[in-house]
């Protein structure tokens, strides 16, 4: 299978590239990535010499490079996106550009080149917040942030291309991922690396917001399965079944690192902060998928990875990251 992965230098994309090269002998992968602040070729250092892998630097909004890169592909998996909710609140424009227009640029190329499979990587955040129970794939979209609204816009375009042009699309909507190589702006790597350095952990609001945590390797297995066996035009939820409050995660991270809870700081809440996310994954279970990594084991492994790889995150936590952190967290930084 000749696969084009976009956004493969980011967190989930790089884990997916590594997962696919390790799991399938007959796969070749071209990784099209713009290398924004979140893209990092260090994430794929260990596979860059694999003859089945090639990197192309480029923007998914650039129709020429997209068409050149996609020509001859058997499948496209689109991870490329602006992904951080807080950044979408302070500056939504890049989100609309990459997440909506970029997706449209890819869809157009897929249509023109007759590519047999297009998988859009989406998020459970498109459904919005749910007090009790879980969203199914048929639930209405009700996004709260400019990030989730952009992702919802992309999902609607993807499904419209299927209905209108018969484009063979698939969508996965996963819950919050955690694991190695996640940019330290998201809660898990931010809190682990701050705690290592005895820096405060900024908990938004009352810390009782709930996310469903999914280890990135389990997400990669789900994406691989949907790519091979999903039905065109269909959406598949991918969740870990781990509904956990932010404060609980924060305490577990501190516990695993042997740090004091005095590092916890309650700070102003995120505007439009969704209270709880939860997805029903019966449809993907029907294809034979189930998460294999318990949250306890996965979080412990993840903490160990960041502790063992300061050479990965210390350089990140200097330049652009530092400026962002000061803007976002003010006095705390």
Those residues whose C-beta lies under 8 Å from the C-beta of residue 227, and which sit 6 or more positions away, are 75, 77, 117, 119, 170
Which among ligand NAD, ligand TYD, none contacts residue 33 (Cβ within 5 to 8 A by kind)?
ligand NAD
At 176 the three-state DSSP class reads strand
Please, what is the minimum distance in Å from the beta carbon of residue 211 to ligand NAD? Answer: 9
212 interface partner picked from ligand TYD, ligand NAD, none, CB below 5 to 8 A per type: none
Phi-psi region of 233 (alpha: psi -120 to 50; beta: other; left: phi over 0): left
- From 187, 278, 279, 299, residue interacting with ligand TYD (rule: CB under 6 A): 187
Catalytic residue among 147, 161, 306, 325: 147
Among 33, 86, 155, 218, binds ligand NAD (CB under 6 A): 33
How many other C-beta atoms are found inside a 10 Å radius of the C-beta of residue 304? 13
10 binds ligand NAD (CB under 6 A): yes
CA 181 to chain centre: 11
Known catalytic residue at 147: yes
Residue nearer to ligand TYD on the CB measure, 259 or 270: 270
Residue choice 34, 211, 215, 317 for contact with ligand TYD (CB under 6 A):
211
Strands (E), the chain: 2-6, 28-33, 53-57, 75-78, 118-123, 169-174, 176-178, 201-204, 210-215, 234-238, 243-245, 264-267
Site stretch for ligand TYD (CB under 6 A), options 60-68, 97-105, 186-194, 312-320: 186-194
State yes or no: residue 209 binds ligand TYD (CB under 6 A). yes
Which segment (7-15, 36-44, 203-211, 212-220) binds ligand TYD by CB under 6 A? Answer: 203-211
Task: List the one residue from 183, 295, 312, 313 that touches ligand NAD (CB under 6 A).
Answer: 183
**Token pair for 122:** 């989406």
Q: Does 176 participate in binding ligand TYD (rule CB under 6 A)?
A: yes
Side-chain half-sphere exposure of 82, counting CA atoms within 13 A: 25
Q: Which is nearer to ligand NAD, 34 or 263 (CB)?
A: 34
Which residues in 115-154 contact ligand NAD (CB under 6 A)? 121, 123, 151
Active site residue 125: yes
User: How deeply is 209 buried, as exposed, middle or buried, from its count of CB atoms within 10 A (0-12, 13-18, 19+)?
Assistant: buried
The two counts, helices (H) then strands (E), for the chain are 13, 12
Describe the strand order of the beta sheet including 28-33 as a list of residue ranges. 53-57, 28-33, 2-6, 75-78, 118-123, 169-174, 234-238
Residue 124 is among the residues annotated as catalytic for this protein: yes
* Residue number with CB closer to ligand TYD (24 or 273): 273
Residues in contact with ligand TYD by CB under 6 A are 85, 176, 186-187, 190, 202-204, 209, 211, 246, 270
Summarize as ranges the residues that interact with ligand NAD (CB under 6 A). 6-7, 9-13, 33-36, 38-39, 59-61, 79-83, 98, 102, 121, 123, 151, 174, 176-177, 183
Residues that are catalytic? 124-125, 147
């Amino acid at each position: 299978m000749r696969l084009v992965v976009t956004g493969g230098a980011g967190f989930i994309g790089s884990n997916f590239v590594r997962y696919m090269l390790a799991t399938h002998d007959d796969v070749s992968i071209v990784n099209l990535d713009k290398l924004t602040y979140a893209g990092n070729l260090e994430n794929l250092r260990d596979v860059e010499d694999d003859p089945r892998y090639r990197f192309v630097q480029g923007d998914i909004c650039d129709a020429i490079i997209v068409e050149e890169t996609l020509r001859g592909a058997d499948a496209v998996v689109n991870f490329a996106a602006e992904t951080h909710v807080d950044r979408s609140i302070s500056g939504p424009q890049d989100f609309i550009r990459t997440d909506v227009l970029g997706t449209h640029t890819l869809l157009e190329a897929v249509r023109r080149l007759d590519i047999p499979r297009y998988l859009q990587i989406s998020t459970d955040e498109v459904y919005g917040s749910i007090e009790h129970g879980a969203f199914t794939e048929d639930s209405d979209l009700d996004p709260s942030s400019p990030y989730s609204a952009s992702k919802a816009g992309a999902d609607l375009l993807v499904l419209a291309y299927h209905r209108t042009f018969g484009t063979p699309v698939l969508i996965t909507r996963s819950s919050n991922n955690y694991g190695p190589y996640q940019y330290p702006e998201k809660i898990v790597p931010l809190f682990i690396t701050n705690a290592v350095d005895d820096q405060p952990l900024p908990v938004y609001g009352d810390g009782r917001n709930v996310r469903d945590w999914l280890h990135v390797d389990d997400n990669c297995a789900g994406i691989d399965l949907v790519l091979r066996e999903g039905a065109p035009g269909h959406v598949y939820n991918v969740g870990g079944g781990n509904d956990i409050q932010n404060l609980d995660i924060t305490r577990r991270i501190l516990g695993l690192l042997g740090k004091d809870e005095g590092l916890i700081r309650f700070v102003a809440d995120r505007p439009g902060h969704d209270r709880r996310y939860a997805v029903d994954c019966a449809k993907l279970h029907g294809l034979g998928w189930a998460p294999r990594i318990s949250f306890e084991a996965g979080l412990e492994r993840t903490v160990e990875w960041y502790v063992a790889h300061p050479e990965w995150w210390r350089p990140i936590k200097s330049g652009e990251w530092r400026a962002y952190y000061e803007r976002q967290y003010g006095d705390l930084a």
